[in-house]
Amino acid sequence: MSKTLIVYYSRKGENYWNGSIKNLSKGNTEIVAEMIADITGGDLFQVETVKAYPDDYYECIDEAKKELREGARPELKKFCDNLNNYKNLIIAYPNWWGSMPMAMYTFLEHYDLTGKRIIPFCTNEGSGLGSSERDLKKICKGATVEKGLSIHGAEAAESRSKVEAWVRKMM
């Protein structure tokens, strides 16, 4: 049994990448989440919405902005059955409009996180963690929310040394 679970939401397909749109076969957040799982020996859990976001990047970000404005909680395909087996939850997401995708709120609010250690990281194209650390503290009642890691999305695949240093510090 692993004491660390890496919960991630990631977007493949059209993404903003160093000032232009690039089609990614694997999302930046997923790339880093897999690195973290490899480094920690932790388990991976992918958050997936029932209703897919539009394939077009600009339509997707419009939808994400609407969800944020409305405080939406998108329906998820599944939840993790055994969250009680984990002390450390690494919460991984892209920065969408200054915070996490609303699907991450749906996931986290589903659980009593009392006593859990929440360790955030996000991928972004320059906006850092935004308000996500503060948002996590609000919704993860009873949990300890640690200082997060921000990875520039276009550098995700080459970020292993930065990720390893962060993991060593956090674990």
Q: Give the Cα separation of 121 and 95 in Å (integer).
A: 9
Q: Is the pLDDT of residue 82 over 90?
A: no
| Model pLDDT for residues 19-42, shown as the tens digit of each residue | 899 999 999 999 999 999 999 999
Q: Give the Cα separation of 80 and 53 in Å (integer).
A: 22
Cα-based distances in Å from 142 to 112, 118, 120, 164: 8, 10, 16, 28
Extents of the domains making up the chain: 4-170
| CA dihedral sign of residues 119, 32, 149, 93 | negative
Q: Is the pLDDT of residue 1 over 50?
A: no
| Model pLDDT for residues 83-135, shown as the tens digit of each residue | 989 999 999 999 999 999 999 999 999 999 999 999 999 999 989 999 999 99
Q: Residue written as tokens 């976001």?
A: 53
Q: What is the CATH number of domain 4-170?
A: 3.40.50.360
Q: Is the pLDDT of residue 2 over 60?
A: no
Query: Do 76 and 45 contact (CB within 8 A), yes or no?
Result: no
Q: Is the pLDDT of residue 164 over 90?
A: yes
Please give the model's pTM, rounded to 2 decimal places: 0.94
